[in-house]
Amino acid sequence: MTKVCLVVGAGDATGGAVAKRFAREGYTVCATRRSLEKLQPLIAEIQQAGGVIHGFGSDARQEEAVVALVEHIESNIGPIDVLVFNVGANSPNSILTETARRYTKMWEMACLAGFLIGREVANRMVLRPNREDIPGASHKGTIIFTGATASLRGGAHFAGFSGGKMALRALAQSMARELGPMGVHVAHTIIDGVIDTEFTRTMFPERYALKDRGGILNPDHIADAYWMLHQQPRDAWTQELDLRPYMEKF
């Protein structure tokens, strides 16, 4: 049977790395971004490596679009075994000049979108039989929400981002408590540190120089942690996992 990994927000760093990690494990990957065009390099890379991927241009904030996306995948591709919600929403700004429109948009991207896709996928997962590939597990699927430093504390100029990410963390906790007994593993990750991206290399060269010392997060290593979460038996489920470079202050 086809095993599907849905990555919502399959960007050039964490989301793309997660998609490639699950594709290597034999999963059919369904990857979304608002721009289908921006997904083409990831699609090509996974296909060239022998993996299977379907790309979708979709706005995760729009309820009708989310409902249609999940219905299409479940009806035409296969049951979603793992959902990774990885939508970015970081747009720093002073609280003195922040607008209601920007603030609302960040909350929609960081939290509302997570609620919409989480609800739709969870409604399918709870009705399924348990997975057979994890000994001793009552496991019907995994939902992973990507958080950030802002999930734990609000910094200057990050009121909108922190508000959305803290709300996403609360959503993940509520879903874990409700869905865990039903066999659905819900986890929230706190990515605390700078990630190795082209943006970081270009805009923050001094910080990027720490890469050779293990001072910034490697997206492939983040993806390894996501795969580990999906493989956990229910007697040792992780609800929250924080990942940071060894030199990151916390």
Task: Check residue 183 and give its pLDDT.
Answer: 93
> C-alpha angle 226/126/117, rounded to 5°?
60
Is the pLDDT reported for residue 232 higher than 90? Answer: yes
Burial class for 210, CB neighbours closer than 10 Å (0-12, 13-18, 19+):
middle
How large is the greatest C-alpha to C-alpha distance in the chain, in angstroms? Answer: 54
Rounded percentage of the chain residues whose pLDDT exceeds 70: 97
pLDDT tens per residue across span 80-94: 999 999 998 888 899
- Name, in order, each residue with C-beta under 8 angstroms of 104's C-beta and a sequence gap of 6 or more: none
> What is the tens place of the pLDDT at every residue in 174-220?
999 999 999 999 999 999 988 888 878 887 788 888 888 888 899 99
- 158 token code pair: 């990050």
Confidence of residue 35 (pLDDT cuts 50, 70, 90): very high
Q: Which two tokens stand for residue 3?
A: 């095993």
Reported as a single tens digit per residue, the pLDDT across 154-170 is 999 999 999 999 999 99
The total of other beta-carbon atoms located within 10 Å of residue 241's CB is: 16
Predicted confidence at residue 138, as pLDDT, reads 55
* Amino acid letter, residue 19: A
Contact 246, 193 (CB under 8 A): no
pLDDT for the residue numbered 92 = 87
pLDDT score at 203: 75
Q: What is the pLDDT of residue 134?
A: 52
In angstroms, the CA 42 to CA 154 distance is 33
Amino acid at 161: F
pTM of the model: 0.94
Instruction: For strands 52-57 and 80-85, give the pairing.
Output: unpaired
Q: Is the pLDDT of residue 136 over 50?
A: no
Q: What is the pLDDT of residue 174?
A: 98
Judge whether residue 121 has pLDDT over 90.
yes
Residues 94-104: tens digit of each pLDDT: 999 999 999 99
Per-residue pLDDT, averaged over 23-40, amounts to 96
**Residue 132: predicted pLDDT:** 59
Nearest to 143 by CA among 169, 166, 118: 118
